[in-house]
């Protein structure tokens, strides 16, 4: 199937993915490389977006993992605490990786480990400190402004359409 290469609207030249597809079409004309147009662009875009997100996290002295833990605790509502296993579930990392993240956040004074009230005292919780609440509130405010800046490169109509398409596609993996 011949597909016209996508061009950069500012220069009128094929973008990097289109050039790669053209090379594969030349070398392997029996293969349909059209999926590469979607997956390749998503992959490249994800890299750019990740860099843009990391810049904001770093501005607040956080890595992506630390931001994720603080945001998960803040979303829990007051008193902003969860068991370490719950944190691992909500952030989709292993409990070992979660322990390392928590250790770094404890050392920074942004979270604390404490015994859960009630029970026999063996259940442990991780909770935001006042400094942690302040840090994540500031970081999340900047994060949302950054995401707004990023999606505003698309029209409102394109944003809605893309969100719908991505929601349906992601559902295939998450159900």
Q: Which helix (H) or strand (E) holds 114?
A: strand 111-115
**Distance between CA 131 and CA 119 in Å, rounded?**
28
**Distance from C-alpha of 77 to C-alpha of 68, rounded to nearest angstrom:** 15
pLDDT tens by residue, 133-167: 999 999 999 999 999 999 999 999 999 999 999 99
pLDDT tens digit sequence for 66-79? 999 999 999 999 99
CATH classification (class only), 37-154: mainly alpha
Q: Does residue 59 have a pLDDT over 70?
A: yes
Q: Global pTM?
A: 0.84
Residue 104: per-residue pLDDT: 95
């Amino acid at each position: 199937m011949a597909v016209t290469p996508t061009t950069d609207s500012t220069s009128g030249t094929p973008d990097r993915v289109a050039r790669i597809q053209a090379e594969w079409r030349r070398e392997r004309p029996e293969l349909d490389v059209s999926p590469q147009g979607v997956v390749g662009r998503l992959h490249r875009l994800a890299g750019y977006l990740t860099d843009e997100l990391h810049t904001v996290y770093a501005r607040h002295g956080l890595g992506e993992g630390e931001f994720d833990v603080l945001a998960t605790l803040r979303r829990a509502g007051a008193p902003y605490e969860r068991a370490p296993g719950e944190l691992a579930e909500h952030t989709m990392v292993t409990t070992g990786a979660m322990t390392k993240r928590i250790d770094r956040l404890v050392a920074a004074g942004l979270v604390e480990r404490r015994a859960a009230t009630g029970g026999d005292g063996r259940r442990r919780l991780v909770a935001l400190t006042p400094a942690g609440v302040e840090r994540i509130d500031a970081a999340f405010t900047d994060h949302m402004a950054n995401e707004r800046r990023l999606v505003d490169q698309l029209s409102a109509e394109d944003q809605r359409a893309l969100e719908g398409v991505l929601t349906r596609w992601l559902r295939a993996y998450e159900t």
